[in-house]
Amino acid sequence: MPVQLISAQLAEAIAREATGCDLAPLDEGRLFRLLVNAGHGCREIGRWYDGRDAAYVAGRIDLLNLIDLGRNALDEDLVPVNLAVLVARLSEANQQLMLNRWIRGDFADLDHAARYAGAIYEDEQPLMSL
């Protein structure tokens, strides 16, 4: 178990207080990353933060990996948060590709873009030997 730099009681109070602040997704990611770096897990942070699951917390942290175009597009509501999470998991070059295609309207819908991002993500993963 990692050392807790912020007590669980204080971390819970911070997360619960932030719940009512209507934070932007990137700000949520910064808060969650701070609490993770302070020694708390995504599951417990999510529980404190309005009962969210660990995937929600991890996704918001992943948003911090977005390139500037992605952060700006997210801030300006040009890209949906759920798609931005998928894009943030890609290499910088593929983030650029996905964001440009989304902004141009090259995808039929959000599901199409999400499938495309997922396929790119799979292609970027190293092959595992059996």
Whether residue 126 is predicted with pLDDT greater than 90 in this model: the reply is: no
pTM: 0.90
C-alpha separations of 107 from 8, 90, 112 in Å:
43, 18, 6
Whether residue 76 is predicted with pLDDT greater than 60 in this model: the reply is: yes
In the chain, helix, strand, coil percent, each to 5? Answer: 70, 0, 30
User: CA-CA distance, 71 to 19, in Å (whole number)?
Assistant: 22
Segment 37-58, tens digit of pLDDT: 999 999 999 999 999 999 999 9
Whether residue 128 is predicted with pLDDT greater than 80 in this model: the reply is: no
Find, among 62, 84, 82, the residue nearest to 72 by Cα: 84
84 φ, ψ (degrees, to nearest 5): -60, -35
Band of residue 20 on the pLDDT scale cut at 50, 70, 90: confident
